[in-house]
Amino acid sequence: MPDTTSTDEERRASIVQQMREQTGIDEGMIEQLVRGFYARIREDDLLGPIFNARIRDWEPHLQRMFAFWSSVVLSSSVYHGQPMRMHLPLPVDARHFDRWLDLFEQTARDLFNDRIAEHFLERARRIATSFELGIASSHGVLLGKDERFIRPQQPNRND
């Protein structure tokens, strides 16, 4: 039986190289974006507390995010995970996704020209929409076109 592993690896490497050439994006740029973006997340009044309460050692998380964005932007297939499952328990709704996208856009536009920033942003918008739909659905809410998920207010336990 022929060894198809090297053929599969060669095919994947060729796809990644084509994506690098088409987009002008490489792994160094992905790392730069991810590090800058998460630095902003960690300092953000809305998102920082959510992330900082769950991530103690940031470097392994950043490494996963490099792989995730490489898979999303360069079709590298280096990310192996279930990001939706990881995000379902988070206490987030439309406000959080809007802020996430704002910070992502600020970072991408600060770092890259418009064409490259838009390439990242197009994918980030799709991811945010998908996660918001998934989280809403996990709460029994089916969103229609242009509807947003707003988490029901929890009673204040200090009352």
- The answer as to whether 37 is a domain residue is yes
- The answer as to whether 78 is a domain residue is yes
pTM of the shown model? 0.89
- The answer as to whether 143 is a domain residue is no
- The answer as to whether 49 is a domain residue is yes
DSSP notation for 33-79: HHHHHHHHHHH-TTTHHHHHHH-S-HHHHHHHHHHHHHHHHH-----
Q: Tens place of pLDDT for every residue, the chain, 159 residues?
A: 555 667 888 998 999 999 999 999 999 999 999 999 999 999 999 999 999 999 999 999 999 999 999 999 999 999 999 999 999 999 999 999 999 999 999 999 999 999 999 999 999 999 999 999 999 999 999 999 999 999 887 655 443
- The answer as to whether 156 is a domain residue is no
Distance CA 10, CA 24 (A): 20
- The answer as to whether 59 is a domain residue is yes
CATH number (domain holding residue 106):
1.10.490.10
Distance CA 110, CA 113 (A): 8
State the residue range of the domain holding 25.
7-138
- The answer as to whether 66 is a domain residue is yes
Number of folded domains that form the chain: 1
- Taking Cα atoms as reference points, which of 22, 43, 30 lies closest to residue 112? 30
